[in-house]
Structure 1
């Protein structure tokens, strides 16, 4: 029997459009935290703890309900995953929930997160869902949801989905208008073709490039794309392996890539994270090239071509002061946001910015893509090196000098303590003391991670020993009062 939704308690953000959505699903087996489910990049946590098949079923159902409600003519929903052992389980549970809500599911299987965003935007899809915990360890997983344009789902719609999951909107007992599940891995080639479209077929002829795909979502795809454009490619960790994804490899562990670039005499190397929405580079000397340098080099190229409105780069509070000051010296404009590519993306939409990203390697260039994309960024950086006639090391040496910047993570298991860290006065006093001591020669950033159970402490200063001293002091206070 089907009946309309009955409101128990109207949550913030509901507009009344959910009144006549049909259906329900049982909520047995779900333990929900008191804090919000959605963080800075979807729902993320330990599998078997926060993430489970019953929860994924509910997330799928209520995602389908909400997306259908706001679509004038609901199309399919795109579903992809990374290589984690838990991703298959979550994919099947999500698909069950989505089809229970009446949506047709186009299941891609293993693919990068930007592939889901791209196909969501270029088809008549009502939205997209990616199963991945990005750079997190194998035992974690996550659910990222995209709107019909391939952008991160708005906070308002996230609240509506969570309201359904938490029972703030109740439904009847049964569903009778189910959708269908279709396997559509052939669509991934459309995404690959879009990456190569701006370049000639042999654009990288004569280049030797090392790729570290981290046993993750870009397995096979990254190698084939670079090889098809003429590069000689050495590919590391190029197998889908749910036990080893991100373990001592990829964008969070560059040592293996750095050694391989030096060993093979490569022009450069790229390291992707588990879902390939971020990338870090290694120059021909084996040195790390982070997102600040990627943004500076790409931004300068676009600026010279007069393709960068207001000469604006959007980055986050983590961006190095050396990068910001060098860009402004070139006549550029620089805006910082909170950490998280969704905040960068939102600021770019607000200001009309075409280039933005994070130090961690999430880079967004609206000339070519709609979301952070590690493969896209790697291709364009390789093209900049090829077209410049210079080595990447020379390009980096001619750009800017970074301020010493130390970042240390302190594990804080209690989620309430992480979210409410600003209420601990001893920590606020320590931050104030550090800021007063450094003045305009440095800065402090303390924040709770939106993707991991840690408090991140970052200190940046003109002098390395000053940064080291205050990092140690602040970490000690966090450990004393929050762990």
Structure 2
């Protein structure tokens, strides 16, 4: 089904006042791009005004438009989070897409999964989200989706990047520009899709829920979505704020959510990241319910309903050993992938799996959505509690005990050192020593982040003293030999 256009403040680029020759030349000038791949595990991400400039966004839009445009292509669905740089990047990206002849439907502030959902539903050419997810306010990003709402295929990203690295000899003649239209009313359809799996039999009436909206993309929708399901809602950080998005709040900073749940004697709390595609929960005792618990609890629900093929869950190398061993004790299978929802998704497609995700709270369930959706995951967890007749705290106690796990990030600005950490001999010796010492009592994961200039060091073991000792030692080695 394709929704007919409702033009709201739309205009043809060709009808606007012409830009000066110098401004046009700057937009089409060759870009200074970093060595290595521009597209990371979650699109293009970096410091706004440094890597992410208006000329880059314009040319990304133009080149993406050339790759994605077909004779039957619908509009591009565009959304953004609340960062101060998002308006600038959105305008430049829209201009580039329209210059390539694509129509652009701008949703404005919205969660990333809204873009994915509407791109799939409306027969769009694709979708694009301006956001750096859980990153700090000064960062931003550009993330593309296919016409089916999935992350854009690596080969298409490679085509866009190759074009960006092959600058035009001169500015092209623009004879068939597209329309740019504001379409915030389309978000009503997205909200309805969140409620649809639970109607008419599930109500959240009687549950008191705290939401931490992280000053981000879910700020305008979160409270409404849960109130319309009948819950009593208390909101934190519930206004769009580009200066404070993700700052000491949201899914990566749970202290304020824990405190609010205890203060208000709430049944549970949910925290979303800046673009609301992931969620972390807190039970009534202030204990964290991360993606491992969500997969275990939701997986059991689907398994009991006969909706979990081969009793298989897909997660990443970050999944806790306690979760894995508890799931296997029930006869289930946990398959691990590299970190990143695109790898989880690919493995799910390969195996025909119906539930997967990451410990960080990014959950994929194609029964209900084409992409990870933090609010939808939270609604499912709340509905599971309501239907079970017991508290989230009790469900947690009945599931599994996690192994102590500690994750430390070490900032490494030098890109070559960061990406080639595995060639650092002192670090390799330290990892081998730790693995030999712990044996089957624990495990170690060291990796370069795909979204931030950091090396992540994770240690997990049956005993906390082993975790503390080896995490401290490995972080010291990284700081000495890679960060210095």
TM-fit CA distance, 1:220: 2.3
Aligned to 1:316: 316
Aligned to 1:273: 273
**Structure 2: distance between partners of 1:191 and 1:229:** 15
CA deviation string 1:190-227 (max 9, x = no partner): 01000000113660111111000000000121110110
TM-fit CA distance, 1:170: 6.4
TM-fit CA distance, 1:433: 1.4
**Structure 2: distance between partners of 1:467 and 1:261:** 29
Aligned to 1:365: 365
Aligned to 2:347: 347
Aligned to 1:382: 382
**Structure 2: distance between partners of 1:481 and 1:313:** 37
**Structure 1: distance between partners of 2:54 and 2:422:** 34
**Structure 2: distance between partners of 1:430 and 1:280:** 32
TM-fit CA distance, 1:26: 4.5
Aligned to 2:59: 58
What secondary structure, in the 3-state scheme, does the structure 1 residue paired with 2:460 have?
strand
Aligned to 1:451: 451
In structure 1, runs of 5+ residues without a counterpart are: 1-23
Q: Summarize the alignment of residues 246-265 of structure 1 with structure 2, pairs less than 5 Å apart.
A: 246-265=246-265
TM-fit CA distance, 1:31: 2.1
TM-fit CA distance, 1:27: 3.7
Aligned to 1:49: 50
TM-fit CA distance, 1:121: 0.6
CA deviation string 1:58-77 (max 9, x = no partner): 11111111111xx4511111
Q: What TM-score comes out, normalization by structure 1 length?
A: 0.93
Q: Is the 8 A contact 1:246 1:273 kept in 2?
A: yes
Change (3 A) 1:172 1:93: closer
Change (3 A) 1:168 1:352: farther
TM-fit CA distance, 1:173: 3.2
Is 1:283 the counterpart of 2:283 in the alignment? yes
**Structure 2: distance between partners of 1:386 and 1:266:** 14
Aligned to 2:34: 33
**Structure 1: distance between partners of 2:169 and 2:333:** 49
Is 1:121 the counterpart of 2:112 in the alignment? no
Aligned to 2:97: 98
How many residues align structurally? 458
Q: Summarize the alignment of residues 450-469 of structure 1 with structure 2, pairs less than 5 Å apart.
A: 450-469=450-469
Q: What TM-score comes out, normalization by structure 2 length?
A: 0.93
Aligned to 1:295: 295
TM-fit CA distance, 1:320: 0.3
**Structure 2: distance between partners of 1:27 and 1:269:** 48
Q: Is the 8 A contact 1:317 1:339 kept in 2?
A: yes
Q: Is the 8 A contact 2:410 2:479 kept in 1?
A: yes
Is 1:335 the counterpart of 2:353 in the alignment? no
Aligned to 1:478: 478
**Structure 1: distance between partners of 2:91 and 2:444:** 43
| Greater Cα offset, 430-439 or 213-222 | 430-439
TM-fit CA distance, 1:28: 2.8
Change (3 A) 1:25 1:101: farther
CA deviation string 1:27-80 (max 9, x = no partner): 437321012111110010111111110110111111111111xx4511111000
**Structure 2: distance between partners of 1:265 and 1:171:** 64
**Structure 2: distance between partners of 1:464 and 1:386:** 34
Q: Summarize the alignment of residues 365-444 of structure 1 with structure 2, pairs less than 5 Å apart.
A: 365-444=365-444
TM-fit CA distance, 1:468: 1.1
TM-fit CA distance, 1:426: 1.4
What secondary structure, in the 3-state scheme, does the structure 2 residue paired with 1:99 have?
helix
Q: Is the 8 A contact 1:448 1:456 kept in 2?
A: yes
TM-fit CA distance, 1:444: 0.7
What secondary structure, in the 3-state scheme, does the structure 1 residue paired with 2:410 have?
strand
What secondary structure, in the 3-state scheme, does the structure 1 residue paired with 2:431 have?
helix
Q: Is the 8 A contact 1:164 1:170 kept in 2?
A: no
Change (3 A) 1:60 1:468: same
In structure 2, runs of 5+ residues without a counterpart are: 1-24
Change (3 A) 1:269 1:80: same
**Structure 1: distance between partners of 2:467 and 2:285:** 26
| Greater Cα offset, 197-206 or 54-63 | 197-206
TM-fit CA distance, 1:420: 1.3
Aligned to 1:6: none
CA deviation string 1:321-349 (max 9, x = no partner): 10011001111111000000111011111
Aligned to 2:17: none
TM-fit CA distance, 1:124: 1.2
TM-fit CA distance, 1:177: 1.6
CA RMSD of aligned residues (A): 1.4
